[in-house]
Structure 1
Amino acid sequence: MKAVGIVVEYNPFHNGHLYQVEQAKEITGADVVIVVMSSSFLQRGEPAIVSKWSRTEMALANGVDLVLELPYIYSTQKAETFANGAIAILDAIGCDYVNFGSESGDILAFKQLVSFMNQHQTEFNKLVKEFTKLGYSYPRATSSAFSKLQTDSNVLQLSEPNNILGYHYVKAIKEQRSAIQATTTLRRQAHYHESTISPHPIASATSIRKAIAETDLQQIEHVVPKQTFNLLATYKRNYLTLHTWEHYFDLLQYKVLSTNREQLREIYECEEGLEYRVYETIKKASSFAEWMQEFKTKRYTWTRLQRLATHILTNTSKVEMEEACAFVKPSYIRLLGMTRNGQTFIKKTKQHRETPLITKFAKAEGIQAQIEERITNVYLSPLQKKHQLHEMRQEFSRSPIIY
């Protein structure tokens, strides 16, 4: 059985994701679609609006055969680390292809870009340092370095978010010496950063989350599959919330104000004296949005600072993150859900897998598992106590969803 992998967050699963699933199968001729999906906190440093279990159901109801967990140690990272972790998991499970959405739609352009960057890596790194010293944020520094370095106008531009991730997927495949073949699907209609929902059936996840937060679920009904709409409504009805940063702000504020600066400095991604700015700005804020407006600087992007906030909230240190990411391959692969077709794939490829595939979190071991347990408990903290305790217990014993 041929398998195509997709790296996802599904926050939430929408019609654009459905289009990609269909295109990934058509482009590759794969029999099985496997997604590796971020767990509770995401690359932009945000909590997922609903649990990984609800998002797993959304995926399985719309053409995905296997859902694997992308652990916190990869899911809340810059593009390079995020991509390395995801590709390592897809390679370990036995994927033949990986498919990603892009503004380019041309996989050859990504391969040429990887080759171009390999030839100019030393010069590129030097330019990034120069622009960083000028006070540029890291994304702006890399973009400026690339523009100054580039002499061939035909080279793919490293400015669009999905092109950046696509570049790192192709680069990770090459560096890990994986046999996975990369493919790409051209994004349709909605731009990654688009913040308003149009009458079209495809909208960005950003605009969907904004509409949910500002109005109600009815506003997104035409841009998500029916199953997604129903699962969002069910989650909100059962737990009386959809997770946003505002639900965690009191806990974050308490964490910062009850921690000395030296301890804050040991938190992952807390660099260059940010511990002082975190403390001085958060004690004046009455909401997460208000704090971020005060905390934001030209040197650091909103996303970068949200990730730092996530690491503070989850008490994730530099030492343990470095230990967890020291290994190229994950210590285990966690299966969150599968269709019958996915089950067949798991059985047929069992003898070729070296990395343990676990179906219950109780079987997870090592620093990766220790971090994941802690961040899951933090993620569940806004729920009513009875739901919170129930979900914490379920996390250890719950079997994968079979759709």
Structure 2
Amino acid sequence: MKAVGIVVEYNPFHNGHFFQAEQARKLTGADVVIAVISGTFLQRGEPAIVSKWYRAQMALTCGVDLVIELPYLYSTQKAELFANGAISLLANMKVDFINFGSESGNINDFKQLHTFMQNHQAAFDQLVKSKMKLGLSYPRATAEAFNQLEPDSSILALTEPNNILGFHYVKSIADLGYNIKATTTLRKQAQYHDKDVTEENIASATSIRQAIANGQLSQIKHVMPKTSYQLIRDYKNAYSLLHTWEHYYHLLQYKILSTPSEQLRLIYECEEGLEYRMIQAGKHSTSFEEWMQQMKTKRYTWTRLQRLATHVLTNTTKAEMKNVLSSSPTYIRLLGMNKKGQAYLNYTKKQRTLPLITKPAKVEGPIASMEERVTNVYLSPLAPEQRTKQIKEEITRPPILIQ
């Protein structure tokens, strides 16, 4: 059996995701589609709008055969570490291919970009450092450094989010020495940053989340598979919320204002006096949106600051993150599968080098401890009885099995 891996957040699963899963299978001829999905908090430093279980269910009813979890230590990182973690897990699942969406739709563009960056890496790194010293954010510095290298016009620009992630998937495969073939699917219609849901049947996840935040669930029905849309409604009916940062702001504010600055300084991604800025913003902000507006600077992007806020909320320190990142993944958390996915697990059982975990209660170590703590924080906005129940289920719940 051959498998293709896709790296996803499904926040939430929409028609564009359905198209990618379908094309990934078609382009590669794979028997099985495996999704590695971010668990609780996502790469942009946001809480997932619904739990990983609901998002895994969306995937399994819409073309994905097997779902594993991308743990917090990778899911809330910049593109390079995010890609390394996801590719490492997929490699251990013995995938033959990976597939990612892009505006290019041509994998040779990414291979050419990778070769170009290999040949100019030292100069690129030096340019990035010099531009960050001028006060530019890391994404802006990398974009300007890339442009200053004067690549040929045929070289894919290292500026768009999907190009950046695609480049790092290709780079991770090469750097880590995996025998995985990368493929890409041309994104249809909506672009990554589109903010409005139109009458088209594909919309960006950004526009869908914006509609959800505005309480306009009915406006997104046509851009999502029926089961995906129903699961969002089910989650809101069951828990009376769809997770946003505003549900956590009172906890973040309390944490910031009750923690000495010298301890805030130890939080992962807290650099250059940001602890003082966090405290001042916390004293004068009544919402997460307001806090972020006060935190935002030319040097620090919204995404970077949201990730910092996530690490403050979850009490993730530089020392802890350094410790868990210093080693390779120690296990794979299985979230769900269908019959085909189950058959693939049996087929690759003797080939996998990492244990496949179905219940975290049986797992020990720093990565598992971090994951349990972070999940408990994610569940904190739920009503007390629901929260207690979900905390227990998180370490005892078996994977979803779609018959």
After TM superposition, the score normalised by the length of structure 1 is 0.99
Which of 247-256 and 145-154 deviates more? 145-154
Using the alignment, how far apart are the partners of 1:153 and 1:366 within structure 2? 48
* Aligned position for 1:288: 288
Q: CA deviation at 1:148?
A: 0.3
Q: CA deviation at 1:212?
A: 1.0
* Aligned position for 1:145: 145
* Aligned position for 1:367: 366
* Aligned position for 2:42: 42
Q: CA deviation at 1:12?
A: 0.3
Q: CA deviation at 1:365?
A: 2.1
Using the alignment, how far apart are the partners of 2:362 and 2:57 within structure 1? 22
Using the alignment, how far apart are the partners of 2:364 and 2:34 within structure 1? 23
Aligned-residue identity in percent: 62
Partner SS for 2:13: coil
* Aligned position for 1:253: 253
Q: CA deviation at 1:159?
A: 1.1
Partner SS for 1:350: coil
Deviations 1:150-172 (A, max 9, x none): 23111110111001000000000
Using the alignment, how far apart are the partners of 1:263 and 1:215 within structure 2? 38
Q: CA deviation at 1:60?
A: 0.2
Opposite residue 232 of structure 2, the aligned amino acid is: L
1:10 pairs with 2:6: no
- The alignment yields a C-alpha RMSD, in angstroms, of 0.6
Query: Equivalent residues in 2 for 1:1-400 (5 A)?
Result: 1-327=1-327, 329-400=328-399
Q: CA deviation at 1:217?
A: 1.3
Opposite residue 343 of structure 1, the aligned amino acid is: Q
Q: CA deviation at 1:26?
A: 0.5
Using the alignment, how far apart are the partners of 2:320 and 2:115 within structure 1? 33
Deviations 1:362-398 (A, max 9, x none): 1222111111000000000000000000000001110
Opposite residue 7 of structure 1, the aligned amino acid is: V
Deviations 1:46-72 (A, max 9, x none): 000000000000000001011000000
Opposite residue 345 of structure 2, the aligned amino acid is: I
Q: CA deviation at 1:112?
A: 1.1
Q: CA deviation at 1:229?
A: 0.8
Q: CA deviation at 1:196?
A: 0.4
Q: CA deviation at 1:228?
A: 0.8
Partner SS for 1:375: helix
Deviations 1:136-188 (A, max 9, x none): 10000000000001231111101110010000000000011001100000101
Which of 242-251 and 206-215 deviates more? 206-215
Using the alignment, how far apart are the partners of 1:171 and 1:133 within structure 2? 26
Opposite residue 332 of structure 2, the aligned amino acid is: I
Opposite residue 382 of structure 2, the aligned amino acid is: L
> Mind listing any 5+ residue stretches in structure 1 that lack a counterpart?
none
Opposite residue 398 of structure 2, the aligned amino acid is: S
Q: CA deviation at 1:287?
A: 0.3
Runs of 4+ in 1 over 3 A off after TM superposition: none
Opposite residue 344 of structure 1, the aligned amino acid is: A
Partner SS for 2:37: strand
Opposite residue 253 of structure 2, the aligned amino acid is: Q
Using the alignment, how far apart are the partners of 2:39 and 2:399 within structure 1? 14
Provide the aligned length of Structure 1 versus Structure 2.
Answer: 402
Using the alignment, how far apart are the partners of 1:188 and 1:397 within structure 2? 39
Using the alignment, how far apart are the partners of 2:106 and 2:369 within structure 1? 40
> Mind listing any 5+ residue stretches in structure 2 that lack a counterpart?
none
Using the alignment, how far apart are the partners of 2:63 and 2:189 within structure 1? 21
After TM superposition, the score normalised by the length of structure 2 is 0.99
Deviations 1:270-294 (A, max 9, x none): 0011111011111100000011111
Opposite residue 194 of structure 2, the aligned amino acid is: E
Opposite residue 52 of structure 1, the aligned amino acid is: K
Deviations 1:308-362 (A, max 9, x none): 00000000000010111112x3110000000000000000100001111111111
Opposite residue 241 of structure 1, the aligned amino acid is: L
Partner SS for 1:335: strand
Using the alignment, how far apart are the partners of 2:366 and 2:85 within structure 1? 15
Using the alignment, how far apart are the partners of 2:215 and 2:237 within structure 1? 16
Opposite residue 396 of structure 2, the aligned amino acid is: S
Opposite residue 302 of structure 2, the aligned amino acid is: W
Opposite residue 353 of structure 1, the aligned amino acid is: R
